[in-house]
Amino acid sequence: MRRVDVDHYTQADRAVTLKPLDVFGRDAVAGGARLHGEVMVASLASIYKKLKFLTNENLGWGRIHLPEIELQTTAYWLAGEGLTGWRRTELDVALLGAGRAIQTVASVLLMVDPHDLGLVTQVRSPHEEAPTIYLYETVPGGVGLSERLFARHDDLIAGASALIGGCPCDAGCPACTGPRLEPDLDAKGLAARLLGELGAPEVLTAG
């Protein structure tokens, strides 16, 4: 390693796939079901992006040649079996935006580092056959966070909704729904609508 003086940082773009291996608990909730169990997470870093400090402007990218990493761990997930009438592109953005907010709230509720929990969203999970948000533990085997998240499902949904509703941004930002990947879609409005369908109490919106 060598020290460099640059105006950007790099971020690996990981293609992450997640497959449930065993379900330890499952309950019906508004909009679908909450679950926790054992999962296999495979991640492959294929490219890295050069991002400008502060603005996160994309300055370029390069290839990474590393083997796939497999992680057997535990996860909490939310399967939106009851969600209907969503357009696929909007649902994709809504799941990711709501998932980011749930991930932020989860790390605060459990008082853990945000990097202790990974996020995977699937518009149609092959396992659940429904739109699904997974929060998995990044420590092999997990340390019990998933079961605690499963128990606090209602607080996660309500907290994520309040985080998004209370954010002063217009249409989603890194502080609430995460970096905007689809500039034409209102990530904030879509994530708020999704959380509402998942039982979040109504929040007064700012911004």
**What are the residues binding Zn ion (CB under 5 A)?**
167, 169, 173, 175-176
Q: Which is nearer to Zn ion, 64 or 169 (CB)?
A: 169
In whole angstroms, the minimum distance from the beta carbon of 173 to Zn ion comes to: 4
What is the DSSP track for 94-141?
HHHHHHHHHHHHHHHHTT--GGGEEEEEESS-TTTSS-EEEEEESSTT
Q: Which is nearer to Zn ion, 127 or 188 (CB)?
A: 188
User: Is the distance from CB of 85 to CB of 39 less than 8 angstroms?
Assistant: no
Q: Which is nearer to Zn ion, 18 or 185 (CB)?
A: 185
In whole angstroms, the minimum distance from the beta carbon of 164 to Zn ion comes to: 7
Distance CA 72, CA 53 (A): 34
In whole angstroms, the minimum distance from the beta carbon of 172 to Zn ion comes to: 6
In whole angstroms, the minimum distance from the beta carbon of 26 to Zn ion comes to: 32
Q: Which is nearer to Zn ion, 33 or 176 (CB)?
A: 176
Nearest to 202 by CA among 172, 158, 170: 158
